[in-house]
Amino acid sequence: MTNSRPEVSLVVPCHDEAANLSTLYGRVRAVMDESGKSWEMVCINDGSKDDTLERLLTLHEKDPRIVVIDLSRNFGKEAALTAGLDYARGECAIPLDADLQDPPELIPVLLAKWQEGYEVVNAVRLSRDGESWAKRASAHVFYRILNRISEVAIPEDTGDFRLLSRPVLEAIKMLPERRRFMKGLFAWVGFRTTQVYYRREPRNAGNTKWNYRRLLNLAVEGITSFSQVPLRLAAHLGLMVSILAFLYAIYMVIGTLVYGNPVKGYPSLMVVVLFLGGVQLLALGIIGEYISRIYEESKQRPIYLVKNTWLRGTDRKED
């Protein structure tokens, strides 16, 4: 058993990715062995229902550089990624998707920038092959809207694929929030940053777990995590509607005094009532989203729970 720290930790969240693991390992091993860097690949089994765990353990037995973290259930990618970064022992860490959309062959380019002195190296997507036009367009719009309303500049067209140096990893470990938007946290900690560009490949095998509902939830998570603009927007909208309602009331009073009070106006009354009701519900929904975050944080539950670990040079460990 060796306790020496590897130079590079590859962090791979896995949820039902059994079909991709052999190809992923082969490509990672070829790239990393050629680089001459000592390395480990920290694989997090995030409540997979297929034989992902069994295949990970087979790889671990074949190559002890494969570290396996088995979570007690599916906690979601953000939590699984957090677990992987917590267990990563390398001088730097590189989050990597198991579906091979982020090519391992780009790793030497990230490492070269790290050796130049950069502490964060973002991999920016020039294209997103294999994804629908709607998904590409929505992602493009989301990151640009988020940057306009966020106090922290979040790199556009950049996923989790990036290099994080050890000081950055230690800084991220200090962030206590339970509901996490990792792309924002990576940007929030700062440090000397640069970027490289690549073309994102289609999935190697299997189907994506990110349907539009989950993507929408992630977008809401990102906006509420890094911007208070929606709350301010709700307040401004309420003020604007109040002013319009006051002006309309003046108009109605003057109209009644000048023209009398014919019993008309039911359509306009319904429009006003429905509009005001819609604005109130929208504002309550925005406020409720932020309150739900306060509620989740107040419970102080752990971000994830580990069931078993298979570490470098060790047998199974119960946690």
Phi, then psi, of 125 in degrees rounded to 5: -85, 125
Which residue positions in the chain have pLDDT lower than 50?
Answer: 1-2, 314-319
- Structure confidence at residue 212 (pLDDT): 54
Residues in the chain: 319
The domain segmentation of the chain, as residue ranges, is 8-227+304-318, 229-299
Helix (H, G, I), strand (E, B) or coil at 263: coil
Q: Which two tokens stand for residue 163?
A: 């290099």
Cβ(125)–Cβ(106) below 8 Å = no
Under CATH, what is the fold of the domain 8-227+304-318? Spore Coat Polysaccharide Biosynthesis Protein SpsA; Chain A (3.90.550)
Residue 196, number of CB atoms within 10 A of its CB:
15
Cβ(8)–Cβ(94) below 8 Å = yes
Which residues, in sequence order, are CB contacts of 140 under 8 Å at separation 6+? Answer: 156, 157
- Structure confidence at residue 318 (pLDDT): 43
- Structure confidence at residue 94 (pLDDT): 92
Rounded Cα distance, 233 and 157, in Å: 26
- Structure confidence at residue 44 (pLDDT): 93
How many helices, marked H, and strands, marked E, lie in the chain? 10, 9
- Structure confidence at residue 313 (pLDDT): 57
